[in-house]
Amino acid sequence: MSATPSLIVLLEGVSDVAAVRAIMRRNDIGGDHVELRNLQGVTNVGRVLPEIRQLQPDADVVGMCDAAEARFVERALGANSCPVSDASDLPAYGFFVCEADLEEELIRALGTERAVAAIEGAGLGGKLQALQIQPAWADRPLAEQLHRFCGVASGRKEQVAGVLAGELTRGELPEPLSMLVDRIAWSA
């Protein structure tokens, strides 16, 4: 029987969970005291956060969101006695913000060549090439093609996020992921 988690990490979706899990595994952090919770959309944070506070009042709650959705986390924290003026206040409460989104952060941190190599290593090179020859994408920058590739097919976003995140060393992590991983490691 696993222990009740003392740290709950709220993440927007399955791809975020896959990425954080891959980083935790690579860096040998976490354990039974950490629960990665898929919000199934960041808009659910306003419902989930008070539920956790009621059912597991001793658990620390942290998380990560995309910049465009930070307002939902701001509102949820504010409604739970955590005063927030704007997204710059979120890290004080253990919530970290990805500029654009997690996939863009991962691609930028790896660089396009390493991202392509990781995708090829996962057996998805042919699928990436199929996207790259489509007229709508053929002339786009490689970073845009990679970002589109991450979310173009069901289940791929989760798979690719885990693959890309697993390639990064702790020192290469983009800032929001680095701060989240540091917070998880600190809780151990």
> Does residue 45 fall inside a structural domain?
yes
> Does residue 77 fall inside a structural domain?
yes
> Does residue 40 fall inside a structural domain?
yes
pLDDT tens profile 16-49: 999 999 999 999 998 889 999 999 999 999 999 9
> Does residue 109 fall inside a structural domain?
yes
Residue 118 has pLDDT above 50, yes or no: yes
For residues 128 and 92, membership in a common domain is answered with no
Neighbours of 47 (CB within 10 A): 10
Residue 1 has pLDDT above 50, yes or no: no
CA distance 132 to 99: 25
DSSP code of residue 135: T
Residue 2 has what pLDDT?
Answer: 55
pLDDT tens profile 51-109: 999 999 999 999 999 999 999 999 999 999 999 999 999 999 999 999 989 999 999 99
Residue 122 has pLDDT above 70, yes or no: yes
Q: Output the average pLDDT for the chain.
A: 95
Mapped onto helix, strand or coil, the DSSP state of residue 40 is coil
CA distance 100 to 132: 22
Stretch 103-121: mean pLDDT: 98
pTM listed for this prediction = 0.94
Split into its structural domains, the chain has a count of 2
Residue 16 belongs to what domain range? 7-103+168-186
Q: What percent of the chain has pLDDT over 90?
A: 92
Residue 133 has pLDDT above 90, yes or no: yes
For residues 23 and 13, membership in a common domain is answered with yes
Residue 188 has pLDDT above 80, yes or no: no
CA distance 159 to 157: 6
